[in-house]
Every structure is written in structure tokens, then in C-alpha cells.
């Protein structure tokens, strides 16, 4: 039985992971859970899975969780708080596998720590890889960690790769990677109406149930842009050989084009338990709980090129992938600030790419050779983005 740590247990990926784990109690034991601020859900998960350790973001959340555990008479779980405790959770000797599902830059340090500790790393936090790039992949190689992608698109690509493929290596027989994208909720919305889009409209994804931040990223297609950068790193491919395809039905999750003309696609219902179960069971397979795909209900599959004018964020991400260095970290940090401001109604939807582009043009690019350099680029980009927000508030 393998020991499992889930970073971001109360989020959508964390909840889906625990759903899959509960179906296979003989395969995994939950050793550690981490949560942001959802004490009630963390309490219920702790009661059900009885982990050794639970980490909350701050002392207030930790105290509330401890109080709740005492109230229900639960014993045997240590409750910790803070960023250092996240690293502690991922590097526990009892932990074999880490599900990295903390959204955003907050997941970088614990995810990198898991990679350096040689864990089997199930990577759902794309931002950690986008920010640190080659530094992250080098840590995986040097420690002998096993990296399995969880994003539905990258997991689909992984499943379509040659037998015995390992993430981070170039497969010479691959010509292109095709990442599918739903297009989000505003694919056909008139451009002159986008400035009036509300947070409620932006988080209403047509196919997937996701968190607020990633739902907005899907609406701007920054999510797909981050996935392009991630794909270049995971599969050692240049941006020119990673193509985004708008596929409204979200049935084909990605495709791999081989040099002999063969194109392999991974299909399934839009249910994150499918890639999660694939990674948890790899190299075997077991039940995910997802409904079987009904092709007669699907009926048709449509494919279109992305509109880079409509989805300016996707264009910016491609440029960041081409330049490399700390530019992806700057892109990610600026996007996180912009999306948070939009969700708080402090920034129009159409200003999200404007804010990001301003940061890319303002913060200097460095070679991302050390973690300190990456974190400094992140800090400068956030400071620049917050300064720029003052401009929008004044107008």
C-alpha cells in the first residue's frame, strides 16, 4: 500500500482524488492532506481518511480544525500550519506519492520539494512547472522522481506517447502535440461585449467543473497558454510543435501526431477522475468512477483554430514559451494578480491581457537558473501588476 499526500485536498482536484482513492482502499493510504481555508471540508476529509498530518494555510485555520477534531473525538492527526509545513507534508518518509493540486504560485515550493525528495509526483499544479521550468525538470531527473501529469490534456498526451515513455524526454518519433481546448464560455460572444463580462459569467464553464481561478483562465484561454508552456517542458518540444485546437465537445483531450502520419487521441467524458485514476494506477489501470463515453450521445466532434485576437492571453503565453527564462514566471504572476482583481470586480475582463502584457514589457527577463531568481521575478511581476492596477482604479 502506497502512502499519499494531497496538496490542495479541499479543492476540486483534491476532492476528486479522494473520491478515486476511496474506491481503492487497498492501494493507497492517505498520509497527509493540506488545505487552504475550507476548515469544514478539511474536517470531514480528516474524519473519513484519518491522515497522520493535516496542514492549513495559517494558524487560525489550524486552530479551527483542531477544535473541530476535538469536538468529534478524533485523535491521531497532527495539525500544522504555514508554508514550511507544506514542505514537511510532501517529504514525510511515509509518503510515496504526492498529488500536487495547489492552485497558483503557492504550490511551487512544496511541489519542488516533493520532486527533490524523489517522490512519485502527480502534477496538477501547472504553475509550479511554468514558473521554474528547467529547474523543476532538473530536480525530477536528479532525484529519480517519477512525474505523471494530471491536467487532462497532458495526461492525454502522456497516454498517447510510446511505451515506457518518461516525462521530460524527447520522443524522436513525435511530430506534433495537439492540445485541445473547449474555448470557454465566451468562444462566440461578440468582442464588444467582453468588457462587460462578470465574474459569474466567466466561471460558468460549459464542460468542466473547476475552481474560480482556473475557470477564468479557461475563459481567457490563459489556462491553455500555461498548458502550452507546460507541454514544452513535460515532453521536451518547442512551442512551434505544440498546437492548440479548439474542440468544443471536450471529448478528445489531446492528440499526438507521429512522423509516420499516425495520430493518436485520448478520449473520455470531461471528468478529472479519469486522469487522476490513470496516474494513481499507472502503469496499471483501475476504476475511476467516471461514466463510460457514449459516442452515440456525442454524435459529432468539431475542431477549429484558436482566435489569437479574441484570446490575447494565449498569444502572450506562446511568446513566453519562446523566450523562456523568467518570462513564464512573470506571465504567471501577472495573470494571478489580474484574475484576482477581476474576480474582486476591480478590473474589467478585457484588461486581464493588458495588465499581463504591461508586466511582460516592464519586468526584465533573467535566466531562470536558481529558485531565488524565479521567486524574485515572481515578486517583481506582482509588484508591477499591483502598481498597474492603480491606473485602472483611477480611470
Domains and CATH numbers, the chain: 2-149 (3.40.50.720), 152-270+293-311 (no CATH), 324-395 (1.10.1740.10)
pLDDT at 207: 67
Cis peptide before 283 (omega within 30 of 0): yes
pLDDT at 289: 97
What residues does 300 pair with on adjacent strands? none
Q: Distance between CA 362 and CA 385 in Å, rounded?
A: 10
> What count of other Cβ atoms lies within 10 Å of the Cβ of residue 394?
6
Asked whether the beta carbons of 233 and 134 are under 8 A apart, the reply is yes
pLDDT at 214: 86
pLDDT at 392: 77
The model's pTM is 0.92
Block means of pLDDT (10 residues each) for the chain, 395 residues, are 97 96 97 96 97 96 95 94 96 98 88 96 90 92 95 96 91 96 91 90 74 89 96 96 96 97 96 97 97 95 95 97 96 96 95 97 92 94 95 72
pLDDT at 82: 94
For residue 129, which of 279, 276, 230 has the smallest C-alpha distance? 230
The three grid cell numbers given for residue 334, joined into one nine-digit string = 501577472
Scanning 34-164, the segments in alpha helix (DSSP H) are: 39-49, 59-71, 83-90, 108-116, 126-132, 134-143, 152-160
- Helical axes 212-220 vs 351-362, angle rounded to 10°: 90
pLDDT at 281: 97
Q: Provide the 3-class DSSP secondary structure of residue 247.
A: coil
Amino acid at each position: 500500500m502506497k502512502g499519499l499526500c494531497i496538496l490542495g485536498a479541499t479543492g476540486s482536484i483534491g476532492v476528486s482524488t479522494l473520491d478515486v482513492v476511496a474506491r481503492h482502499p487497498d492501494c493507497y493510504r492517505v498520509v497527509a492532506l493540506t488545505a487552504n481555508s475550507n476548515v469544514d471540508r478539511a474536517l470531514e476529509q480528516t474524519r473519513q481518511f484519518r491522515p497522520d498530518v493535516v496542514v492549513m494555510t495559517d494558524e487560525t485555520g489550524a486552530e479551527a480544525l483542531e477544535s473541530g477534531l476535538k469536538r468529534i473525538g478524533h485523535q491521531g492527526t497532527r495539525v500544522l500550519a504555514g508554508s514550511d509545513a507544506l514542505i514537511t507534508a510532501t517529504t514525510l518518509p511515509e509518503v510515496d506519492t504526492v498529488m500536487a493540486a495547489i492552485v497558483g504560485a503557492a504550490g511551487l515550493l512544496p511541489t519542488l520539494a516533493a520532486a527533490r525528495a524523489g517522490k512519485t509526483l502527480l502534477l496538477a499544479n501547472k504553475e509550479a512547472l511554468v514558473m521554474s521550468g528547467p529547474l523543476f525538470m532538473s530536480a525530477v531527473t536528479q532525484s529519480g522522481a517519477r512525474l505523471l501529469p494530471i491536467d487532462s490534456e497532458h495526461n492525454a498526451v502522456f497516454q498517447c506517447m510510446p511505451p515506457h515513455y518518461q516525462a521530460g524526454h524527447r520522443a524522436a518519433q513525435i511530430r506534433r502535440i495537439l492540445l485541445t481546448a473547449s474555448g470557454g464560455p465566451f468562444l462566440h460572444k461578440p468582442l464588444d461585449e467582453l468588457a462587460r463580462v462578470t465574474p459569474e459569467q466567466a466561471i460558468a464553464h460549459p464542460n468542466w467543473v473547476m475552481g474560480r481561478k482556473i475557470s477564468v483562465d479557461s475563459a481567457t484561454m490563459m489556462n491553455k497558454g500555461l498548458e502550452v508552456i507546460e507541454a514544452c517542458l513535460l515532453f521536451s518540444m518547442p512551442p512551434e510543435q505544440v498546437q492548440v485546437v479548439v474542440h468544443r465537445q471536450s471529448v478528445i483531450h489531446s492528440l499526438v501526431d507521429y512522423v509516420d502520419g499516425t495520430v493518436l487521441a485520448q478520449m473520455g467524458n470531461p471528468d478529472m477522475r479519469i486522469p487522476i485514476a490513470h496516474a494513481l494506477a499507472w502503469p496499471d489501470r483501475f476504476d475511476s468512477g467516471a461514466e463510460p463515453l457514449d459516442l452515440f450521445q456525442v454524435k459529432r466532434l468539431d475542431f477549429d483554430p484558436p482566435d489569437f485576437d479574441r484570446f490575447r492571453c494565449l498569444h502572450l503565453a506562446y511568446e513566453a514559451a519562446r523566450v523562456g527564462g523568467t518570462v513564464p514566471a512573470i506571465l504567471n504572476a501577472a495573470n494571478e494578480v489580474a484574475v484576482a482583481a477581476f474576480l474582486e470586480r476591480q478590473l474589467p475582463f478585457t484588461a486581464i491581457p493588458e495588465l499581463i502584457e504591461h508586466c511582460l514589457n516592464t519586468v526584465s527577463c533573467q535566466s531562470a537558473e536558481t529558485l531565488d531568481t524565479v521567486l524574485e521575478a515572481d515578486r517583481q511581476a506582482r509588484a508591477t501588476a499591483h502598481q498597474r492596477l492603480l491606473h485602472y482604479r483611477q480611470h
